[in-house]
């Protein structure tokens, strides 16, 4: 098994020249599947970048707001291991500013879809389009800088709170850091700490709750200001007040951005513009909450088995 030290070394290594997304994707993958995948990461980081295209996809709109982004997967197929097909004929579109909720049992392929969206892996068939441009006509960096991620396992590193929020934005000013923390409802909390933004986070020994950690990663996403978000909804329990703060901060973060949410909460799923129900690498159903309920299929079953208690008046 790969050591945490190696993971941290990897993060520091990749931090020098990549956007946050790849580090997270890399970190997830290293942790999930060990040294073989780490090899793939390095191979992947070392790959030459394709030439820049005109109309840089990561560029902010003239008014300074994050541009909304359309993402379309067309008949995508993908497998991690030769001979073991996983994603098959996946077609899915997220319109600018809309929210796509991805639901399905463990092993359905939800995380895999995220890995493909941020181009951590290359697809085997079909195509993925970012505002109509095929991923293959963009460099990985051009794809990735459009994405921000707030994942369930918060990915804070050993360093100050300031550096953690500023991760991937080495040029950020103190004012920008504080503004991002305010937007994420975490500035007040940081100011209660004796060292404030200079507080060093040190993994397990840290006195910061999981809810506050999540808010810090939301602050990081605010600062990065991406057009597209990937959110993995936390299932770990936090106190009600923090939960409310997280939900408000997330909603604010999502405003005007396209988002893919690996969703666990009924409220999120119901509010999504599109729900994608996955099973065994396939999209088995796609539609709004009401459409899928009316269809009486897989989602209907999932809904009644998982959420009926929550719904009882």
Residue 111 as a binder of ligand ADP (CB under 6 A): the answer is yes
Place of tokens 């639901």: 103
Q: Of ligand ADP, Mg ion, none, which one does residue 112 interact with (CB within 5 to 8 Å by kind)? A: ligand ADP
Q: Which is nearer to ligand ADP, 39 or 203 (CB)?
A: 39
Neighbours of 301 (CB within 10 A): 11
Q: Of ligand ADP, Mg ion, none, which one does residue 107 interact with (CB within 5 to 8 Å by kind)? A: ligand ADP
Q: Which is nearer to ligand ADP, 113 or 250 (CB)?
A: 113
Considering only residues 13 through 32, tell me which ones interact with ligand ADP, judged by CB under 6 A: 29, 32
47, 59, 60, 107: which one binds ligand ADP (CB under 6 A): 107
HSE at residue 81, side-chain half, CA atoms within 13 A, is 4
Across 46-178, where does the E strand assignment appear? 71-78, 87-94, 99-103, 125-130, 133-134, 147-150, 159-160
3, 54, 62, 106: which one binds ligand ADP (CB under 6 A): 106
Phi/psi for 236 (5° steps) reads -70, 145
Query: What is the strand order of the sheet 71-78 is part of?
Result: 87-94, 71-78, 125-130, 133-134
Residue 111 as a binder of Mg ion (CB under 5 A): the answer is yes
Question: Is 143 within 8 Å of 118 (Cβ atoms)?
Answer: yes
In sequence order, the β-bridge partners of residue 133 are: 130
Q: Which is nearer to Mg ion, 110 or 145 (CB)?
A: 110
31, 68, 86, 266: which one binds ligand ADP (CB under 6 A): 86
Q: Which is nearer to ligand ADP, 32 or 60 (CB)?
A: 32
Q: Of ligand ADP, Mg ion, none, which one does residue 109 interact with (CB within 5 to 8 Å by kind)? A: ligand ADP
Q: Stretches 80-88, 108-116, 173-181, 245-253: which one binds Mg ion (CB under 5 A)?
A: 108-116
Site string for ligand ADP, 53-82 (x = CB under 6 A): ---------------------------xx-
Q: Of Mg ion, ligand ADP, none, which one does residue 119 interact with (CB within 5 to 8 Å by kind)? A: none
Enclosing H/E stretch for 171:
none
Residue 268 as a binder of Mg ion (CB under 5 A): the answer is no
Residue 33 as a binder of ligand ADP (CB under 6 A): the answer is yes
20, 67, 97, 109: which one binds ligand ADP (CB under 6 A): 109
- Cα distance between residue 284 and residue 269, in whole Å: 16
Question: Is 143 within 8 Å of 14 (Cβ atoms)?
Answer: no
3-state secondary structure of 209: coil
Q: Stretches 99-107, 129-137, 198-206, 235-243: which one binds ligand ADP (CB under 6 A)?
A: 99-107
- Cα distance between residue 145 and residue 20, in whole Å: 8
Residue 29 as a binder of Mg ion (CB under 5 A): the answer is no
Query: What is the strand order of the sheet 99-103 is part of?
Result: 147-150, 228-232, 258-262, 99-103, 274-279, 282-287
């Amino acid at each position: 098994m790969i050591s945490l030290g190696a993971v941290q070394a990897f993060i520091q290594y990749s931090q020098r020249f990549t956007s946050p997304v790849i580090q997270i994707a890399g970190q997830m993958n290293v942790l999930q599947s060990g040294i073989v995948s780490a090899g793939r990461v390095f191979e992947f980081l070392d790959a030459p970048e394709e030439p820049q295209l005109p109309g840089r996809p990561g560029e902010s709109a003239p008014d300074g707001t994050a541009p909304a982004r359309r993402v379309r997967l067309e008949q995508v197929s993908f497998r991690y291991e030769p001979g073991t097909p996983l994603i098959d004929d996946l077609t899915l579109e997220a319109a600018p500013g809309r929210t796509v909720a991805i639901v399905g049992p463990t092993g359905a392929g939800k995380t895999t879809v995220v890995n493909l969206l941020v181009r951590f892996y290359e697809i085997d068939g079909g195509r993925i389009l970012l505002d109509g441009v095929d991923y293959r006509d963009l460099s990985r960096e051009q794809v990735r800088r459009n994405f921000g991620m707030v994942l369930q396992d918060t990915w804070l590193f050993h360093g100050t709170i300031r550096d953690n929020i500023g991760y991937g934005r080495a040029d950020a000013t103190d004012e920008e850091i504080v503004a991002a923390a305010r937007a994420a409802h975490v500035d007040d909390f940081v100011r209660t700490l004796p060292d404030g933004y200079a507080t060093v986070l040190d993994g397990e020994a840290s006195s910061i709750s999981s809810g506050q950690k999540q808010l810090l990663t939301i602050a990081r996403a605010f600062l990065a200001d991406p057009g597209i978000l990937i959110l993995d909804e936390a299932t770990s329990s936090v106190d009600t007040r923090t939960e409310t703060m997280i939900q408000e901060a997330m909603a604010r973060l999502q405003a005007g951005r396209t988002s893919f949410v690996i969703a666990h909460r009924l409220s999120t799923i119901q509010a999504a513009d599109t729900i994608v129900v996955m099973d065994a690498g396939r999209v088995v159903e796609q539609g709004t909450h009401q459409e899928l309920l009316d269809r009486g299929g897989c989602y209907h079953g999932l809904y009644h088995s998982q959420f009926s208690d929550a719904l009882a008046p």
